[in-house]
Amino acid sequence: MNWVFLIIAGLFEVGFATCLGKARETSGTTAILWMGGFFICLAISMTLLYKVTQALPIGTAYAVWTGIGAFGTVLIGILVFKEPVHFWRLFFLFTLIASIIGLKFVSS
């Protein structure tokens, strides 16, 4: 169950990064709402990460959490923010996922 919570925490990391990007693009009330989403996602992500580190090694949990966040944020950047996509970017993105899966298999 801890791995499920860790994945959810990573997805909320993607959420807070996305909200931060959207807040940067807007102004006024809309930016404030995006910042509200940022803080909510941040709080949920950190709470879940804290809970998970009670059972999983901190190094593994943190690496997987940041990996999920990095992968998801790059994916959102490509799909939502129209960031460039090319072979090497995708190649390293998938090596990141392979590393996360590898950490799952070698962790107790």
**Please, which pLDDT band fits residue 107 given cuts at 50, 70 and 90?**
confident
Between CA 39 and CA 8, with CA 54 as vertex, the angle to 5 degrees is: 45
Residue-wise pLDDT for 53-62, tens only, equals 999 999 999 9
Per-residue model confidence as pLDDT tens digits over 27-49: 999 999 999 999 999 999 999 99
What are the C-alpha distances in Å from 62 to residues 4, 7, 19, 71?
A: 14, 11, 21, 14
Calculate what percentage of the chain has a pLDDT beyond 70. 99
